[in-house]
Amino acid sequence: MKQNRELDSIDRRIVALLQEDATLSHADLAERVGASSASCWRRVKALETAGVLTRTVRLVDPVMVGRGVNVLCNIRMLSHAIEARESFERFVDGRPEVIECFSMSGDWDYLLRIVVADVADYNHFLMQTLLAHPSVAGGSSHFALSMTKYTTALPI
């Protein structure tokens, strides 16, 4: 597990701003946090090296690319043996429909967030792929009717 890194107020403002708009130049960032461009560049590099800042990506509107249906699927495993869990996690990692996967405590072993085009698309994935995996004992699907909040920004 990674060690928490203490962030000063400027680092926190940099991280918060970059979570909202990763395309900000070092000059724009410096102006917004009240530091020099060179200082911002050094701070961003230090935050990257420390692992605080990771990948830079562009977010895609799922509806615009035909993936507007969100399904939350609880999975129960047949076995909790390490080999079964590793096999399932490798399987999930290779499935583009599964955009989030959490190992869970409680009654269910995993929670998956799956994005698909429509119910028929999900039905095919569920019946032909997910439930067919040899490690899976069963699942419970929940369709999101709407998204009332979505953010990738962590509170800093």
Residue 55 lies in a domain: no
Residue 125, token pair as written in the block: 């994935």
User: Tens digit of pLDDT for each residue in 123-149?
Assistant: 999 999 999 999 999 999 999 999 999
Residue 20 lies in a domain: yes
pLDDT at 1: 44
The domain spanning residue 90 has which CATH number? 3.30.70.920
pTM of the model: 0.87
Residue 152 lies in a domain: no
Range of the domain at 127: 63-143
Share of the chain above pLDDT 70, in %: 97
User: Tens digit of pLDDT for each residue in 85-137?
Assistant: 999 999 999 999 999 999 999 999 999 999 999 999 999 999 999 999 999 99
Same domain, 75 and 40: no
Residue 56 lies in a domain: no
Same domain, 45 and 76: no
Q: Is residue 4 pLDDT above 80, yes or no?
A: no
Mean pLDDT, the chain, whole residue set: 95
Give the C-alpha separation, 70 to 72, whole Å: 7
- Structural domains counted in the chain: 2
